[in-house]
Amino acid sequence: GNSVTQMEGPVTLSEEAFLTINCTYTATGYPSLFWYVQYPGEGLQLLLKATKADDKGSNKGFEATYRKETTSFHLEKGSVQVSDSAVYFCALTGVVNSGGSNYKLTFGKGTLLTVNP
Amino acid sequence: DTAVSQTPKYLVTQMGNDKSIKCEQNLGHDTMYWYKQDSKKFLKIMFSYNNKELIINETVPNRFSPKSPDKAHLNLHINSLELGDSAVYFCASSRGQGSHPQHFGDGTRLSIL
């Protein structure tokens, strides 16, 4: 079945530091890849997505590139802010059953990021 | 305007009780979902409905019964609540499946005493 593996947290950085959160996946076919962010006490929000190999998703200074050869979708940001403190989830959509037409979103375990001033 | 709204936000109840969580989306989406997030933040899909029809039913105890009266609503009823049901339950919706992103509600924190 489909699976997503992302680096375990927590990750603690100082403001303006460089951020990388690693994410690799296993899937049949051609999944779409996502990063979602969850701020304390809130639901998940889409941060960025990529739907095919070599696509780069970007938003709010974050970016991730769909790498089919390494089955990876690492999240990066050049300079983090205190307001980026949240839990980040890597996810993919894939078919529920081989040859089927129903999709489900499979999440990684989430990475807690804390940015200190 | 809240896009995906869930009620209640908090639910504290005794073991053995029956409770419901309601979800409504005003985005005009066709597909709705229920997820369970455990204390370690792990998210797992429970159910998915497309145009009021159940399309995904993961290995969830049959004490959990979703109901979709129309495309904009997906409610979750839980019978005979157990301690292990304590979690945050999220409703979500999307325009379709596949590459369409999902929009999440703020969650319902269920605590079983």
Give chain B positions within 8 Å (CB) of A105: 33, 45, 102
When scoring B21, B42, B102, B108 by the number of chain A Cβ atoms within 10 A, the one with the most, hence best to mutate, is B102
- Note the pLDDT tens digit of each residue in A4-26: 999 888 999 999 999 999 999 99
Flag whether residue B107 sits within 8 Å of chain A, measured between CB atoms.
Answer: yes
Interface size between A and B, measured as CB pairs under 8 A: 56
Question: Which residues 6+ apart lie within 8 Å of B50 measured at CB?
Answer: A102, B30, B31, B97
pLDDT value at residue B18: 97
Query: CB B43 to CB A93 under 8 A?
Result: no
Share of chain A above pLDDT 70, in %: 94
Chain B, nearest residue to A34 by Cα? B101
pLDDT value at residue A13: 97
Structure tokens at A114: 């804390």
Task: Number of helices (H) and strands (E) in chain A: give both, helices first.
Answer: 0, 12
AA letter at B34? W
Judged against a pLDDT cut of 60, whether residue B101 lies above it is answered with yes
pLDDT value at residue A107: 94
Shortest Cα–Cα distance, B17 to chain A (Å): 25
Judged against a pLDDT cut of 80, whether residue B59 lies above it is answered with no
pLDDT confidence bin for A41, thresholds 50/70/90: confident
pLDDT value at residue B70: 92
Shortest Cα–Cα distance, B40 to chain A (Å): 8
pLDDT confidence bin for A96, thresholds 50/70/90: low
- Note the pLDDT tens digit of each residue in B29-55: 999 999 999 999 999 999 999 888 888
CA–CA separation, A114 and A117 (whole Å): 10
pLDDT confidence bin for B26, thresholds 50/70/90: very high
Structure tokens at A94: 């894939």
CA–CA separation, B60 and A58 (whole Å): 35
CA–CA separation, B58 and B37 (whole Å): 14
Angle, vertex CA A76, rays to CA A12 and CA A17, nearest 5: 45
Contact predicate A87/A110, CB 8 Å: yes
Chain A, nearest residue to B99 by Cα? A32
- Note the pLDDT tens digit of each residue in B8-22: 999 999 999 999 999
List residues bridging with B35 in a β-sheet: B45, B90
Q: Does A107 or A28 have the greater pLDDT score? A: A107
AA letter at A104? K
pLDDT confidence bin for A101, thresholds 50/70/90: low
CA–CA separation, A92 and A3 (whole Å): 8
Query: CB B43 to CB A110 under 8 A?
Result: yes
Flag whether residue A97 sits within 8 Å of chain B, measured between CB atoms.
Answer: no
Among A24-38, A87-101, B20-34, the range scoring the smallest mean pLDDT is A87-101
